[in-house]
Amino acid sequence: MNQQVLRTLAPGATLGMLGAGQLGRMFALAAREAGYRIAVYGGGPESPCGQVSDVCFDRSFDDQQSLREFAAAVDVISYEYENIPLAAVEFLQTLVPVFPDSRLLRIAQHRLLEKRSLQEIGIPTAAFTEVRDADDLRRGLQQFGGQGILKTATLGYDGKGQVRINGDVDAEQMLQRFAGVELILEEIISFQLELSVVAAGFAGGQSRLFAPVVNHHVNHILDCSRTPDARLTPQVVEEAGKIATRILEHFGVIGVFCVEFFLTDNGRLLVNELAPRPHNSGHLTIEGCAASQFEQQYRAICGLPAGAVMAARPAVMLNLLGDHLVHATPERWQQVFAMTDLHVHLYGKLELRSGRKMGHLTALADDVDEAESIARSARKVLGWDGE
């Protein structure tokens, strides 16, 4: 169980956020609605989170004196991405509560540790093997039928730090490409779809799970999330919830985290990754649920009761990348904002780049396919014709 002291923090308290991107921004917006103050570490006032925070610490995570000043300015801390330096989080935990605590963060930062930790508690994952040298890689490829996905053990996201390979690859040459980096080879999974469950843990062992969301990726970046989805049987929904709850209880999670799954061709659920923070696939909860994932995050770390997670209507989220907004003129935005049942979220990023997450669209409707049609129509209006 989580050993840190969880106090009840009333509105007016200052909540600290490590990381200044869009997840921190949406957390800050939700918490400020309830009267909390926000201090962000790791970005300035021009950053997505900094734009909506009360105070910014645009400092290095290696600067302990600055971390001390930040800890003195806040009542509790959370974080918005899993690659926050672990040493900084562990240091801050000695000064002020940080949720989720560093145990879950530690395994989420390291693919080998993550999969081993999950398998130790009976959670199924894809088969994997550690790769320390060329012989390990050759043995692993043979074990997995001549192909696999070679990944860095740390710092990978949105498809970065991984490559699909087969037995024809020059093992020595491939390892030179990743020289000095810990590696893992994973079996390639044949799956029907990808899904995720966003969950939240609260004081006294209370928990809340949002309904599973079906996800579609383009170029390894999440493109579309939708819920509910008829492809998820009641049995799959129940099993996904049980797995997420087992992880939450084992690690004594206080705060929000996400479990990403593969649903294999033969109907098995395999955990792909954990994210110890709100998740891109949970953005549709802002309009789609009584209490969003970001409201659950501030409620959990402030020692407040859980919010309700029931869905208002079927919902679909589409990401807006830099590519989608190249042709977004004021006239096109006017058409988008005229669309009913559509909600626009932009993250305040100053530079438009290909592949960069600039915002998202959420559509609600009486039917999930209709909601997806609304969202895709809006993205097409903005000038994106690649779908």
Superfamily of domain 127-186: ATP-grasp fold, A domain (3.30.1490.20)
Give pLDDT, residue 384. 81
- The CATH label, of 3.30.70.920, 3.40.50.20, 3.40.50.11540, 3.40.50.2300, for the domain at 14-108 is 3.40.50.20
**Segment-wise mean pLDDT, segments of 10 residues, the chain, 387 residues:** 79 98 98 98 98 98 98 98 94 96 92 95 95 89 90 72 81 81 91 98 95 95 97 98 97 96 97 96 98 98 96 96 96 97 97 96 98 97 81
Write the class of the CATH domain 191-381.
Answer: alpha beta
Q: How is the chain split into domains, by residue range? A: 14-108, 127-186, 191-381
CA dist 330 and 160 (Å) reads 33
Give pLDDT, residue 159. 54
Give pLDDT, residue 1. 41
CA dist 280 and 26 (Å) reads 11
pLDDT digit string, tens, across residues 186-238: 999 999 999 999 999 999 999 999 999 999 999 889 999 999 999 999 999 99
Give pLDDT, residue 250. 95
Give the position of tokens 């049609």. Answer: 373
